[in-house]
Structure 1
């Protein structure tokens, strides 16, 4: 499931960054936190796969201009039908019935709004001094929590301070008591603030509004702001102790408050225990609470070293010489996106590096740190260094899976491994550092236990949890192989994941399937057969849930395509949908079998050897390309003769899925009439990267 954060015109880049980072830290193990603009909200079938829609801080008027009408109608229907909306500052103004902002000043904004999740008026700014695109009006405001709501959550405090800059308060929420509950009020100090002196205190700072079967949580303050990522030296924050220092003092409380708000919206939190050695902030009444590092976003672990090893030491030695030739005298490989520090062996000390702030292409600020790359020249690192992934076990499984059928120079995929327990993104480290990638051997695999900035297709990005097998691989695909278009590589990888399980004796009926173009799905296991009706999908078939996906990035280099293949498949963690091992356990229970579960090491080895088998046949195969795998692919996919609605056509057209073309891998569909009969001569061919698909719901729409 997704959490969508609006990123369109009017959104504050700073607010957007804090919102995305905080949500990924708090719930990123269970949800894919994605940005979406007005066009996406208008055209994509986002409702069914969205657990929360977030409208961050910024400017309310551009929201109106871009979202009024059809988009707001979809948002209202989504929430009324059980969805959740989080409005922060401008997003809270926007979701109220009426806005009164800075009346009788040059900044005046007054008017009605369409969403009307809060039935009354949102009035501000509560505190004076607000200036657009500035921190002059920023404040560390006191808020008092509603004890009735928060005491059961055992926060250990009933007031705290959070970031504020231009937010409003909710006028007379008691008039809407049947649908609205106040979660927090501004503190006593706001009696001297702006926003209308005729309104008595207390003033509602955060409210929860029941909207049909859904919920809207609206906040005039910014609990998502992490003070550690604010510049305390900015003179607009005032002399020390200033806004930032006061926020940092209470940051542990802010995190727990934000966790509680997330829980109140019905979302699952990522459970992370901070390292015991970290400096901590604690309150006297908080003895049972988790220890939280000062200024830290709870849930994002620190990056760990990368370890490089191979199935044979000679392969490691060859690559080590190549890497050394690229490095500075200090052992640094400086690339476009990352800098790597070469460490000659695990016996050498691992240096500590200081993070630096850099601006991304989207105008946001993020931390970057030098990544330590440890060469393991003679043997794989001890499991004391890589406790979550035994590289020795992996290489043993790899050789066993290869057997005698893939020996010699053709046995190359996965023979060299770069592993990190916690990394930024395996895909980014290879794809965004093109100079380094050009020097890496064909078939090198980079894998990780946890990614804190994993990448998927389009806007997808997530913090991936333990239990998800995630890896990226370098593949040099020859341009001259005209019969073997590179577009089919993503299909072969997805097929290899499914076949790695289902081709194993006894595992043939494990219900893993393919969703075009590059997702891996499974039938949701039922805890008990009596629950079958509740778990079935609308068409009476077993509910299908996503457990994995594939991403392929391509660069052209001389006579070959330099592909970086990214893949993730949930192996052992049943959240947020299910996992390969959960499917096997359920199968064993239902059929009285005793099929062994997979480890990360064994599944990675089987996926790579299966892909190598398919890919070698793809390049050879007497020039038949993907045609030799077409029927196997169709046996595994979900879409045989499926009826879908093509929303790119006006009026919308209903079409039947017939397959994929064997030249460029396009989805081949044929129009059908009202009776479901195919219309001769009306064929539509759709490409993976030109359309957005929700084929489980029967929709195909054009991407923006």
Structure 2
């Protein structure tokens, strides 16, 4: 599940960075913390996969300009249906019924707002001196907590200080039904409205339909250790940052409690040393993200590792560095050699944001895979053993030549397996067909479009190099994503005894599962009304995996980098294959063995290689050979959905995929649900937003 942080025009770059860093440190184990702009909020079907939407600090008027209308309608419906919203500073002004900002000054902004998650007025700035794009009005604002609202979290303090820069207070918040005050500003004579005798509400929580909105005039997301007290922006010490550093642990505890109050899963707080600053924290620690670990490269046979060692050494300079477009790699001859510690650097990325880069160590394992003391979360030797055993189950003649997964590069903590291969083309084109890069934790994982995440433990995630021949006209590369997703499902369900484990495919490249149910009343999702007002009841489905394929042209072939992630052993943030198996064992009386990361990776790679060989061969029939199997596993046969880009919207029935380019084939239906045979629509996988659970289909230009 995702936490979305709005990053469109008006959102403060600093507030975005602090929000992403803080949330990743507190909930990144359970949720993907991602940025999204106004276009994404309007056009993408984000609601079903989003646990929290955050509108950070910045400027309210650009929010009004870019989000008013349909986008605000989507946000309101999302929250009313049970979603969660967090508005900070400008995001809080924007989510109130009315804004009253700097009345009588050149910065004055007044008027009603559309979201109305707080039914009253947000008035500010509470403290004078605010200047856009400046720290001139910044303050370490003292706030008093309403500890009754955090009873379950047992906060060990009544007051604390948090960053403030232009925020408002919520006028008469106590008078509104469904509104809880979480914290008040400490009374100070320099505040706005000094004649108001009652404390000014700094943070509130509002019940909105079935959902909740937390609005804050202060910035509980600002990480003091990411701020430099020596900067002249904050003035001479002691200054704002100095005071915030003293309260950093309390700030983290407060933000954690707010997120827990909203129903999010949160990590435990680590012990905190107030003397720690960003200057003496290890790489990644500022954000609460684990440090990047070495990459260990081993093979099913030592000769393959020797070949890779020669190839990669040929790319390196005299210092054994491979300096690529996106990453720099340090080659280390063996685990017995010293593994260097590299200093991270800050570079500019395409979007204009700063990004931390660090040289990555590739440690060759020439004779055997590394011991589990070096890779405690993944036993590479066990993985290769599983791969050998699976291949031995078929005849020797058929098993000859199998290569997918023969060489594996594994890191316990990496940036992104997909990025390391796809964005470093010089390195990638030298890697053998079927080369795999895997990780336990990705701190900058990549999905389709702009999606990125910190992956949760227990999610099998890997990327593989595949050289697809251009001359194979009968086997379009677009079907590779379908075959990989199918290989995940069939890799489990084709094993005797596992046939009924409820794994499914969602077009074009997601793996879904029927939610394991603890009570018969949970057996179906909410009833919806179909054509003719007939009830349509569907089993609850939830995403547990996905596939991403990136392509580069390389002479006579496409150099594909296939990325795949599937929840294997983790129960959070959604469910996992092992959770499905446990539930299936309980309901069926079976005792099916659970998968390990190692066994599932071997099973999926082998099954995909079987499919891919058949795909290229098969007397030129391409994907036609897999139609029956694919439709057996997918969710959409004869499903009725709405094509929302036609005027008026068009109701269509899903018929299948085309065998030339893998387009989704749909047919219009009349008011009685009967097919209109001469009205067919074909839709591209990468050009549509398809929300299976809501029955909406959007064809994009």
Q: Of 212, 217, 222, which aligns to 1:220? A: 217
Q: Of 590, 596, 602, which aligns to 1:605? A: 602
Residue 316 of structure 1 corresponds to 305
1:492-538 Cα deviation digits (max 9, x unpaired) = 0000001111111111111111110001111111224x444466765
* Corresponding residue SS for 1:33: strand
Which consecutive residues of structure 1, in runs of 5 or more, have no partner in the other structure?
284-291
What is the distance in 2 between the residues matched to 1:506 and 1:22? 44
Residue 583 of structure 1 corresponds to 580
**8 Å Cα contact 1:536-1:542 kept in structure 2:** no
What is the distance in 1 between the residues matched to 2:159 and 2:371? 48
Residue 185 of structure 2 corresponds to 186
1:426-466 Cα deviation digits (max 9, x unpaired) = 11111112221122111111111111121111232221122
Residue 111 of structure 2 corresponds to 111
1:340 aligns with 2:329: yes
Distance change in 2, residues 1:534/1:158 (3 Å): farther
Distance change in 2, residues 1:207/1:662 (3 Å): same
What is the distance in 2 between the residues matched to 1:123 and 1:458? 38
1:500 aligns with 2:498: no
1:275-314 Cα deviation digits (max 9, x unpaired) = x8xx73499xxxxxxxx99995575222211101011111
1:42-73 Cα deviation digits (max 9, x unpaired) = 33333333322211111101111122233223
- Structure 2 matches for 1:213-362, cutoff 5 A? 213-269=210-266, 271=267, 280-281=273-274, 296=285, 299-362=288-351
Residue 289 of structure 1 corresponds to none
What is the distance in 2 between the residues matched to 1:6 and 1:378? 49
What is the distance in 1 between the residues matched to 2:307 and 2:522? 55
* Corresponding residue SS for 2:623: helix
1:232-266 Cα deviation digits (max 9, x unpaired) = 44311112333233322322211111110101111
- Structure 2 matches for 1:84-103, cutoff 5 A? 84-103=84-103
* Corresponding residue SS for 1:419: strand
1:610-644 Cα deviation digits (max 9, x unpaired) = 00011111111111111111111111111111111
Q: Which moved more, 1:165-174 or 1:243-252?
A: 243-252
What is the distance in 2 between the residues matched to 1:97 and 1:73? 15
Q: Of 387, 392, 413, which aligns to 1:422? A: 413
What is the distance in 2 between the residues matched to 1:405 and 1:202? 79
Residue 615 of structure 1 corresponds to 612
What is the distance in 1 between the residues matched to 2:269 and 2:626? 46
TM-score between both structures, scaled by the size of structure 2: 0.94
Task: After TM superposition, give the deviation of residue 397 of structure 1 in Å.
Answer: 0.5
What is the distance in 1 between the residues matched to 2:523 and 2:617? 47
**8 Å Cα contact 1:191-1:201 kept in structure 2:** no
* Corresponding residue SS for 2:426: helix
Distance change in 2, residues 1:272/1:378 (3 Å): farther
* Corresponding residue SS for 1:65: helix
- Structure 2 matches for 1:672-691, cutoff 5 A? 672-691=669-688
What is the distance in 1 between the residues matched to 2:137 and 2:319? 45
Residue 546 of structure 1 corresponds to 543
Residue 147 of structure 1 corresponds to 147
Distance change in 2, residues 1:667/1:330 (3 Å): same
Residue 371 of structure 2 corresponds to 382
Q: Of 429, 439, 445, which aligns to 2:436? A: 445
* Corresponding residue SS for 2:293: coil
What is the distance in 2 between the residues matched to 1:27 and 1:311? 37
**8 Å Cα contact 2:524-2:538 kept in structure 1:** no
Residue 411 of structure 1 corresponds to 402
Distance change in 2, residues 1:333/1:246 (3 Å): farther
* Corresponding residue SS for 2:443: strand
Which consecutive residues of structure 2, in runs of 5 or more, have no partner in the other structure?
529-535
What is the distance in 1 between the residues matched to 2:23 and 2:384? 37
1:443-490 Cα deviation digits (max 9, x unpaired) = 111111111121111232221122111111111111111111110000
Distance change in 2, residues 1:532/1:250 (3 Å): closer
Residue 532 of structure 2 corresponds to none
Residue 73 of structure 1 corresponds to 73
**8 Å Cα contact 1:272-1:299 kept in structure 2:** no
1:620-673 Cα deviation digits (max 9, x unpaired) = 111111111111111111111111101111110010111101110000001111
What is the distance in 2 between the residues matched to 1:295 and 1:77? 36
What is the distance in 2 between the residues matched to 1:132 and 1:590? 60
Residue 491 of structure 1 corresponds to 482
What is the distance in 2 between the residues matched to 1:250 and 1:334? 42
Q: Aligned pair count?
A: 688
* Corresponding residue SS for 1:477: strand
What is the distance in 1 between the residues matched to 2:39 and 2:208? 24
What is the distance in 1 between the residues matched to 2:448 and 2:473? 26
* Corresponding residue SS for 1:153: coil
* Corresponding residue SS for 2:366: coil
* Corresponding residue SS for 1:182: strand
Residue 288 of structure 1 corresponds to none
What is the distance in 2 between the residues matched to 1:396 and 1:108? 69
Residue 664 of structure 1 corresponds to 661
Distance change in 2, residues 1:380/1:604 (3 Å): same
* Corresponding residue SS for 1:357: strand
Distance change in 2, residues 1:315/1:293 (3 Å): closer
Residue 402 of structure 1 corresponds to 391
Q: Of 505, 513, 516, which aligns to 2:507? A: 516
Task: After TM superposition, give the deviation of residue 682 of structure 1 in Å.
Answer: 0.8
What is the distance in 1 between the residues matched to 2:387 and 2:432? 17
Q: Of 561, 586, 589, which aligns to 1:592? A: 589
TM-score between both structures, scaled by the size of structure 1: 0.93
**8 Å Cα contact 1:280-1:293 kept in structure 2:** no
Q: Which moved more, 1:20-29 or 1:112-121?
A: 20-29
* Corresponding residue SS for 2:454: strand
